[in-house]
Amino acid sequence: MNVERLVAMVNDIAAFFASEPDADAAAEQVAYHLQKFWEPRMRSEIQRCLEQGGVGLSPLARRGVERL
Amino acid sequence: MTAAEAPKPISQAQKDEILAIVACHKDQPGPLIEILHDVQRSLGYVPAEAVPLIAGALNLSRAEVHGVVSFYHHFRSAPHGRRVLRLCRAEACQSMNGRALERHAMKRLGIGFGETTVDREITLEAVYCLGLCACSPAAMIDEEVHGRVTPERLDELLKRAGAGVRP
Amino acid sequence: MTVTVWISRDAGALALGAEATAQKLLAAAQAAGTAIRLRRNGSRGLYWLEPLLEVECAAGRIAYGPVTAKDVPGLIDKGLLRGEAHPLRLGPIEAHPWFASQQRLTFARVGRIDPLDLDDYIAQGGFRGLRRALEIGSAATVNEVLESGLRGRGGAAFPTGIKWQTVLKQPAGQRYITCNADEGDSGTFSDRMLMEGDPFSVIEGMIIAGVAVGATRGYIYLRVEYPHAYQVMNAAISAARKAAYLGTDVCGSKHAFDIELRLGAGAYICGEETSMLESLEGRRGEIRVRPPLPAEKGLFGAPTVVNNVVTLATVPVVLAQGAAAYRDFGQAKSRGTLPLQLAGNVLRGGLIERAFGLTVRELLYDYGGGSASGRPIRAVQIGGPLGAYLPESQFDTPLEYEALSAIGAMLGHGGVVAFDDTVDMLEMAKYAMEFCAIESCGKCTPCRIGSVRGAEALGKIARGINPEGNCSLVEELCDTMLQASLCGLGGMAPYPVLSAMKHFKEDFAKRTAAS
Amino acid sequence: MYSIDHKDLGTPAPASTGTVTLDIDGSTVTVPAGTSVMRAVALAGGHIPKLCATDSLKAFGSCRVCLVEIEGRKGFPASCTTEVAAGMKVRTQSPRIQKLRRGVVELYVSDHPLDCDTCPANGHCELQDAAAELGVEGSRYANGGASQRGVKQDASNPYFVFNPDLCIVCSRCVRACDETQGTLALTIEGRGFSSRVSASQHQPFLESECVSCGACVEACPTAALTEKLPLMLGAPTKAVSTTCGYCGVGCSLKAEVKEETVVRMVPNRAGTANKGHACVKGRFAFGYATHADRVRRPMIRKRITDPWREVSWEEAISYTASEFKRIQQKYGPNSVGGITSSRCTNEETFLVQKLVRAALGTNNVDTCARVCHSATGYGLKHTLGESAGTQAFTSVMKADVVMLIGANPTDGHPVFASQLKRRLRQGATLIVIDPRVIDLVRTPHIEAAAHLQLRPGTNVAVINALAHVVVTEGLANDAYAEERCEGDTYRKWKAFVSDARNSPEAMEAISGVPAALVRKAARMYAAGPNSAIYYGLGVTEHSQGTTMVMGIANIAMATGNLGREGVGVSPLRGQNNVQGACDMGSFPHEFSGYRHVSDAATRSLFEGAWNATLASEPGLRIPNMFEAALDGSFRALYIQGEDFVHSDPNTNHVVAALSAMECVVVQDLFLIETARYAHVFLPGSSFLEKDGTFTNAERRISRVRKVMEPLAGLADWEVTMQLAQALGYPMHYSHPSEIMDEIARLTPTFHGVTYEKLERLGSIQWPCNDAAPDGTPTMHVGAFVRGKGKFYLTEYIATSERSTSRFPLLLTTGRVLYQYNVGTQTRRTANLAWQEEDRLDIHPDDAEDRGIADGDWVGVTSRTGDMVMRAVVSRRMTPGVVYTTFHFPESGVNLVTTENSDWATNCPEYKVTAVEVVRVGQPEAWQARIRAERGAQRSPALPTACSHRDEC
């Protein structure tokens, strides 16, 4: 999987939920979305990316992925 | 002989004129016929090129405008002669030898109704009542009216109108 | 001292040289060193005397006529400007027997005033009707018109008050007054004379109608063949607007009313009311199916009064003089006066306004003086190109709605055209069909195709081709057109044809014999 | 000529309540109030001859053949224009009436050819019928009289001829163009006897304003306007009701066939979606179904560089199955997947996803809706609770304000556009939000009250600004929103949109829409009282597609414009069965009826029914499949009716992904672009070759009926079934109705749907179940499907695709009327007469800056790729924005589009690509090659001219 593309995608998702004033809730919603709509190998890929430092992930995206 | 010249394409100035006319009437309710009158007054006829311009400005289809233009006999799609002779063909004029006057006019001008002399001086048109029935037969040259018109009087009028009359 | 001279600017007068007479008069007076005030009026309706010239002098308005430009110098020499004797001197027009016997209500001012002089108009009783209407209000005004027995003078003779009442009853919202000035019947010119001779009366009638039914906007639909009426009517509307008779508060009342003058474009059919409405809306002048009536859904879909010029110009009279006074004229269901227009082959053609009841013969001979050609009058056509032809045997019929209807004829717009004995009635029948073909809107089949086939069949008779067969074919066709046409054009074109075939058999039989 | 099995009632049904009882020829008849006498007679089983009347058009009263007698009324009223009245006594037959009718028909006949035997309308000509009925055999007038005959026929339109000699000037064509289609391209010119039907200004139809919808042809009572195909193939003998295979309007059509050949397609006047109307595609462009390009035998090849080898169905199926098994064995169950098609039936898509989930044991199934309306599903589901439009099409007739966003109905959904135009002509207010001046902004008799000509990619900025005005100006319907929606989300949303950053003034710099115009539009929308939103791919195909759909739902909820007729949120679906494909469980995360695969109860329901273990994790979406293919974890794909290589963005990327796979199976009618990268080609069947159902954009399930045998022997659902069998998962359906029965059993919103009921009701709008046995035209009545409506915060986030000095223009894409989607079908019809290539629309200022003239070849370059096409200099564009379609493969539009996609659904951002445009000399070599190939393939479905007067 193209990690850069996945990072861009999760950043897009996080950007949507960023309007949620409650930061925890926002991260939860990011994680929930990934859980519901991302195929497992995409999720593991993004998790691996996070483990390797999560280059390019926006702060909320990072917090979302952390919750997977 | 008739001169049924195909009209030349209209100029940009004429197009501007048409658009100015439309702009002038646009906000009146149901303005199409008023616009066509003004276009004909200004250009002498309603050129085919005017139709899309008017249709566009009034937000009508070209078909609609064409349908209207072609319905009314007053509107013409090509320029007429320098002057227009209208002869009344209705009953009151017929009762006073109007038919003979018609025949005379056609013979003198060498054209039929709806036609224009070769020199483009005179267009002969039929009209059905000019409201001059108590002094029939009646004729109109441009907007000038004439009653009790005899063939001799018609010749005189045509001569005065400067129209070349065939011998 | 300045002498006031009246010369008509009515199109009929102009057609007979009134303008040349006027110019000559000005020049001659100047040459003679006499100051004159030339005033232009409508026509008195004595077209056989046009150009008619009236001089204001001590003895009143002394008329001379017909005065051609040629006659002017001689007349001046003979004391024209002092009203002195001359073979062309007619005396006061009011005293002229042709005029004196008339009952001029609608045409009371026509020819007496300068049509565009509001003061003249008011001095002669103008706007009294409107003031009364404003006083008594909407419902009472409608009632007054209803009570007067006034019927549409355009031809259909529908009671005007009922039409107004229908419009008044419609749900609130925009309403319109439309004035049908598409006077296209041959032999008629009363609308034109009114518009050229007394335009404010038409305007006043429209304002009253507006006040009565709650309309704030009026349209006049005028035929393009009437350029002079167009000019006068336009100027009159501007003058009325300037004097606040039109505008946001008519006559200082809370009523708003304004009028727009629209030109037709050469379509007889647009004299039919629904077709006129289509044309006013900027469309092809095709007939609308009724119902709905224009009074319910008319111009731009709004309730609309459609009245003829004469009808509207009569309304101020009704209001000013009261319904009863108007009703007193006429007889049976034909109340009030009728402006008849005598035309064609007559010695003395013109406008005769009288209470209903005059016979055709009285009109033709007492007023008309017989034919212009000096030959016997053989036929008259009443009511325009769709009206029946009457033979001499029917000349004693009174000119009113029911009596004419009883003999299969119609009064229409009151035009009477006389023909002498040189007329070929088969040709006239054929012309009736041709006219229908030329003017058919093309919507319904009987008119669109029938008129063409009718003219062709009559042409065949004229050429001696199977005359009997074609005569019966024409009769059958006329039945189809009468019963099946969508409007009065195709539905009435058979009247002149059938009446010609019935009363002038010989013109058809001639060909039959020749075949 | 209307459909051969249509019984015409003469005038339309009145919109009335109550009935009237009258007497017709001695019988007592009760009909709805407002019915015409003519219709009443027809309803009572009687018959009155007529020529200008037809029940799709308002009574006109011109032919005068339908005269009757009515007691107490004088004369002979026309029965078409006379309304029934209580107690009326009508006489329809008498010698007098017959004589008059004969008289009129004889007049018609006096200028009409009498050579009926050789006339194409012979047997279906209303004049012929009337003359025969009345005993008119000729005309006594017709001897050398005036005639309008001898006018040359106009065969300019590829599908129909106009023969003025046969015209009876009934105006039915003119009225059909006005009333039914709303284009007003026809008129009567002249008057009286010389009245003639004229297209625009007396022009050939093809050069006129005509959009070839065919309503005029259908309305014509004679052969004056006739389709060309029946002229060549002969008259049809049978009519089969079916549903159009083109756009999401889902018109009900009657395929009229002669033996097994469709010779005419006529809209069904009883069709609820289209009310007897159709467009140039649905009515005429069906020739592709029998085009010579159709592949009739399965084919396989080892490598995509090998030539194709025709094989038997058995071989193709078993090869495919063995490859899939091999790959799954080697790379795991999730290394394969399937794609369902929005062009196939519900039953077919259901089977494909079932095959993927049950037979292949993976959730790697997706559908082409991914690239069009996936954002709609997500957005509406989350806000309102159901992934579908809220209204029936007819609802628009009760709308006072219509807000049209990112949709171009006159081109994309022409039959809906006609209905919308009818409503707008009645006076409804139109607001258009679109970067282009689409037709509806200003078209005869219609003018948008506001056109918000936004910069592509800024939808959310505009919807937020609209919402800002609604909320801050106190125009919201608080009572409704508080009662029907989650109050806390509503209040949060209000606070969010009220923020100054969302004001029209603040957003103006972003969207380019003047703040005052936004305020005006917001006030109009809020004022209603019935305001409806219709939207298209201009909403969904963005990186914020889902956000925008939510924004739309938000504003509709806030103003109370949901849950009744005349209002709502209605997505206009691009393809005929987008809604259906989504409903059928084509998405990787959902079973049919939009139930998540992780839901244990649902899963066990399916596992029980399907006798299989189903995966609980979502599968790959289409773009994810491409990514996985490139990394080697995804190796085989079964694609039914979808041309990725042409339709999906960033073509090079798609091609690389497909090329990396080991087994690509394409099932399609034609050797589409994607087939270049396929190992197995399974011939597909067109909508004419099978039974099934389609679900249109208004959730209407309509029957598709077989009118001819599948050209390759099997319908698509049969192929899927065989494939499942070969994979060791037998499926047993003897007819698609059994598949529907299974769908109904397993899907709550479909519980009440059966073929028997479809037969009875004509069509059904889901949900159809015990609560709504006859279906649901309007959703969310009383309460939202999700319970309380939920507001989402919709922050505007600019797409990463921006114009720069290098790519200063924004390219956006769309559809034209005459072509459809990737053009696979329409390119194989005579619709090419109108458009035979994609073109780039560019504003005159941008063109002038670049020295580009109309018709020049231009190169279009983006960060992703480049293409060459011809330019159209057009004021439909705003400066800075260019536009094209992607109907033709040689254009390579998707070489230019980017990989950007909607955050929630990965719906590609087709609508925004930064590009530069330069004038070039000619197309690229590869483009010229495809163009040439296509040209050689092309054998027009119809000749461009037919001179039937001479030959037929």
> Is B65 in contact with B54 (CB distance < 8 Å)?
yes
Cα separation, D393 vs D566, whole angstroms: 10
- Split at pLDDT 50, 70, 90, the class of C510 is low
Which residue carries 């024409």 as its tokens? C474
pLDDT tens sequence across D575-592:
899 999 999 999 999 999
**How many Cβ atoms from other residues are within 10 Å of residue D168's Cβ?**
24
Residue C352 has pLDDT above 70, yes or no: yes
Measured between CB atoms, which of C11, C265, C385 is closest to B36? C265
Compute the radius of gyration of chain C from its Cα atoms: 24
Q: Are C387 and C461 in a shared domain?
A: no
Residue B65 has pLDDT above 80, yes or no: yes
Question: Most A CBs within 10 Å: which of D370, D626, D627, D654, as the mutation test of the A interface?
Answer: D627
Q: What is the domain range of residue D856? A: 809-937
Q: What is the domain range of residue C472? A: 425-514
> Is D72 inside any structural domain?
yes
Domain boundary among C327, C351, C384: C327
Q: Do D903 and A2 make contact, defined as CB atoms within 8 angstroms? A: no
Measured between CB atoms, which of B51, B63, B70 is closest to D184? B63
The number of helix segments (H) and strand segments (E) in chain A equals 4, 0
> Is C160 in contact with C212 (CB distance < 8 Å)?
no
Question: Most C CBs within 10 Å: which of D48, D60, D102, D191, as the mutation test of the C interface?
Answer: D191
Sequence letter at residue D913? T
User: What is the pLDDT averaged over residues C312-335?
Assistant: 94
What is the least distance, in Å, from the CA of B124 to any CA of chain C?
A: 15
pLDDT tens sequence across A4-55:
999 999 999 999 999 888 999 999 999 999 999 999 999 999 999 999 999 9
pLDDT tens sequence across C223-260:
999 999 999 999 999 999 999 999 999 988 989 999 99
> Is C424 in contact with C430 (CB distance < 8 Å)?
no
Cα separation, C345 vs C372, whole angstroms: 5
Sequential DSSP letters for C230-269: HHHHHHHHHHHHHTTSSBSSGGGSS--BEEEEEE--S-GG
- List chains adjacent to chain C, taking adjacency as at least 3 C-beta pairs closer than 8 Å: B, D
Sequence letter at residue C143? N
Which residue carries 């054998």 as its tokens? D939
A3 touches chain D (CB under 8 A): no
pLDDT tens sequence across D58-84:
999 999 999 999 999 999 999 999 999
pLDDT of A21: 86
Cα separation, D863 vs D653, whole angstroms: 13
User: What is the pLDDT averaged over residues D45-54?
Assistant: 96
Total residues found in chain B within this entry: 167
Which residue carries 């058919």 as its tokens? C440
Q: Are D364 and D499 in a shared domain?
A: no
Chain C residues closer than 8 Å to D194 by CB: 442
3-class DSSP state of C193: helix
3-class DSSP state of D509: helix
Q: Are C275 and C387 in a shared domain?
A: no
Domain boundary among D94, D118, D134: D134
- Split at pLDDT 50, 70, 90, the class of C513 is low
> What tokens does D802 get?
């921006």
Residue D932 has pLDDT above 80, yes or no: no
pLDDT tens sequence across D745-757:
999 999 999 999 9
CA–centroid distance for D815 within its chain? 11
The torsion angles phi and psi of D590, rounded to 5 degrees, stand at -135, 145
Chain B residues closer than 8 Å to C47 by CB: 134-135, 147
> What tokens does D204 get?
């050939």
Q: Do C186 and B128 make contact, defined as CB atoms within 8 angstroms? A: yes
Residue D942 has pLDDT above 70, yes or no: no
Packed helices B50-58 and B32-43: angle between N→C axes, nearest 10 degrees = 150
Q: Are D611 and D727 in a shared domain?
A: yes
Chain B residues closer than 8 Å to D208 by CB: 62-63
pLDDT of B3: 42
Q: Are D470 and D393 in a shared domain?
A: yes
Q: Are D380 and D363 in a shared domain?
A: no
* Cα-Cα-Cα-Cα dihedral sign, residues D409, D412, D413, D415: positive
Q: Minimum mean pLDDT among C103-117, D41-55, D862-876, D884-898: which range?
A: D884-898
pLDDT of C515: 47
> Is D748 inside any structural domain?
no
Measured between CB atoms, which of D189, D445, D447 is closest to B70? D189
pLDDT of D949: 31
Cα separation, D374 vs C239, whole angstroms: 68
pLDDT of D371: 87
pLDDT, chain B, mean = 92
pLDDT of B163: 66
pLDDT of D950: 31
B51 touches chain D (CB under 8 A): yes
Stretch 55-74 of chain B: residues touching chain D, C-beta under 8 Å: 55, 59-64, 66-67, 70-71
Q: Are D381 and D473 in a shared domain?
A: yes
pLDDT of D154: 97
CATH number at residue C456: 1.20.1440.230
User: Is the ipTM, as predicted for this complex, more than 0.90?
Assistant: yes
Domain boundary among D732, D752, D767: D732
How many distinct structural domains can be found in chain C? 4
Question: Which has the closest alpha carbon to D550: D909, D792, D780, D783?
Answer: D792
Q: Are C128 and C62 in a shared domain?
A: no
Rounded to 5 degrees, what angle do the CA atoms D312, D316, D317 make? 115
Residue D948 has pLDDT above 50, yes or no: no
Question: Which has the closest alpha carbon to C265: B17, B147, B127, B144?
Answer: B127
Q: How does DSSP classify residue D946?
A: -
Cα separation, B163 vs B123, whole angstroms: 10
- Residue D482, C-beta contacts closer than 8 angstroms, at least 6 positions apart: D490
Beta-bridge partner residues of C379:
C391, C419
Which residue carries 């006073």 as its tokens? B96
Q: Minimum mean pLDDT among C170-179, D147-156, D303-312: which range?
A: D147-156
- Residue D549, C-beta contacts closer than 8 angstroms, at least 6 positions apart: D375, D376, D378, D379, D380, D383, D535, D539, D540, D571
Sequence letter at residue B65? V
Q: Are D327 and D358 in a shared domain?
A: yes
pLDDT of C331: 84
Cα separation, D186 vs A9, whole angstroms: 52
User: What is the pLDDT averaged over residues C460-470?
Assistant: 92
Q: How far is CA D755 from CA A34, D701, D714, in A?
A: 39, 10, 21
How many distinct structural domains can be found in chain D? 5
What is the least distance, in Å, from the CA of C395 to any CA of chain D?
A: 29
CA atoms within 13 A on the CB side of D216: 32
Cα separation, D618 vs B27, whole angstroms: 60
Q: Are D247 and D224 in a shared domain?
A: yes
Q: Are D390 and D498 in a shared domain?
A: yes
Q: Are D593 and D727 in a shared domain?
A: yes
Domain boundary among D717, D732, D747: D732
Q: Are D26 and D167 in a shared domain?
A: no
Q: Exposed e or buried b for every residue in D794-818, given b needs 16+ CB within 10 A?
A: bbbbebebebeeebebbbbbbbbbb
Q: Are C250 and C342 in a shared domain?
A: no
What is the least distance, in Å, from the CA of B64 to any CA of chain C?
A: 8
- Split at pLDDT 50, 70, 90, the class of B6 is low
Q: Do D618 and A37 make contact, defined as CB atoms within 8 angstroms? A: yes
Cα separation, D551 vs D785, whole angstroms: 18
Enumerate the domain spans of chain A. 3-66
Rounded to 5 degrees, what angle do the CA atoms D854, D856, D857 make? 145
Cα separation, C254 vs C33, whole angstroms: 52
Q: How far is CA B166 from CA B85, B104, B162, C105, D469, in A?
A: 15, 11, 12, 50, 77
Q: Do C284 and B73 make contact, defined as CB atoms within 8 angstroms? A: no
User: What is the pLDDT averaged over residues D481-491?
Assistant: 96
Chain C residues closer than 8 Å to D171 by CB: 443
CATH number at residue C22: 3.40.30.10
> Is C296 inside any structural domain?
yes
Chain C residues closer than 8 Å to B127 by CB: 225
User: What is the pLDDT averaged over residues B39-62?
Assistant: 96
Q: Are D215 and D109 in a shared domain?
A: no
CATH number at residue D195: 3.30.70.20
Chain A residue at shortest CA distance from D901? A9
Compute the radius of gyration of chain B from its Cα atoms: 18
Q: Are C285 and C204 in a shared domain?
A: yes
CATH number at residue C312: 3.40.50.11540
- Residue D576, C-beta contacts closer than 8 angstroms, at least 6 positions apart: D243, D244, D245, D246, D247, D248, D250, D342, D343, D687, D694, D696
pLDDT of A25: 94
Q: Minimum mean pLDDT among B143-147, C290-294, C478-482, D947-951: which range?
A: D947-951
> Is D201 inside any structural domain?
yes
pLDDT of B1: 36
Which residue carries 């507006």 as its tokens? C210
Q: Do D208 and B63 make contact, defined as CB atoms within 8 angstroms? A: yes
> Is C219 in contact with C187 (CB distance < 8 Å)?
no
Q: Are D664 and D706 in a shared domain?
A: yes
A9 touches chain D (CB under 8 A): yes
Chain B residue at shortest CA distance from D198? B63
> Is C446 inside any structural domain?
yes
Q: Do D906 and A13 make contact, defined as CB atoms within 8 angstroms? A: no
Chain D residues closer than 8 Å to B59 by CB: 442-447
Q: Are C163 and C55 in a shared domain?
A: no
User: What is the pLDDT averaged over residues C187-199?
Assistant: 97
pLDDT of D935: 63
pLDDT of D940: 42
pLDDT tens sequence across D261-273:
999 999 999 999 9
Cα separation, C321 vs C118, whole angstroms: 20
Cα separation, D874 vs D676, whole angstroms: 36
pLDDT of D246: 94
Enumerate the domain spans of chain B. 12-71, 83-160
Residue B4 has pLDDT above 90, yes or no: no
Between β-strands D692-695 and D700-704, what pairing exists: parallel, antiparallel or unpaired?
antiparallel
CATH superfamily of B83-160: Glutaredoxin (3.40.30.10)
The winner for highest mean pLDDT among A12-21, D923-932, D937-946 is A12-21
Q: Are C415 and C453 in a shared domain?
A: no
Q: Are C373 and C411 in a shared domain?
A: yes
Question: Most C CBs within 10 Å: which of D36, D64, D168, as the mutation test of the C interface?
Answer: D64
Residue D946 has pLDDT above 60, yes or no: no
What is the least distance, in Å, from the CA of D878 to any CA of chain B?
A: 20
Question: Most D CBs within 10 Å: which of A5, A10, A34, A37, as the mutation test of the D interface?
Answer: A37
Chain C residues closer than 8 Å to D99 by CB: 479
Q: Are C273 and C343 in a shared domain?
A: no
User: What is the pLDDT averaged over residues C145-160?
Assistant: 93
CA–centroid distance for D802 within its chain? 32
- Residue D362, C-beta contacts closer than 8 angstroms, at least 6 positions apart: D333, D334, D336, D337, D356, D615, D619
- Residue D402, C-beta contacts closer than 8 angstroms, at least 6 positions apart: D396, D420, D423, D424, D428, D429, D430, D431, D531, D532, D533, D534
Question: Most B CBs within 10 Å: which of D186, D195, D201, as the mutation test of the B interface?
Answer: D201
Cα separation, C9 vs C22, whole angstroms: 9
Q: Do B92 and C435 make contact, defined as CB atoms within 8 angstroms? A: no
Residue D939 has pLDDT above 50, yes or no: no
User: What is the pLDDT averaged over residues C175-189?
Assistant: 96
Cα separation, D746 vs D601, whole angstroms: 12
- Split at pLDDT 50, 70, 90, the class of D934 is low
Residue D945 has pLDDT above 50, yes or no: no
Chain C residue at shortest CA distance from D59? C289
Residue B135 has pLDDT above 80, yes or no: yes
Q: Do D904 and A13 make contact, defined as CB atoms within 8 angstroms? A: yes
Q: Are C23 and C48 in a shared domain?
A: yes
CATH number at residue D816: 2.40.40.20
> Is D909 inside any structural domain?
yes
Q: Are C190 and C313 in a shared domain?
A: yes
CATH number at residue D57: 3.10.20.740
Cα separation, D162 vs A39, whole angstroms: 58
The percent of residues in chain D predicted with pLDDT above 70, rounded, is 98
Secondary structure percentages of chain C, helix, strand, coil, to 5: 50, 15, 35
> Is C416 inside any structural domain?
yes
Rounded to 5 degrees, what angle do the CA atoms D435, D280, D685 make? 105
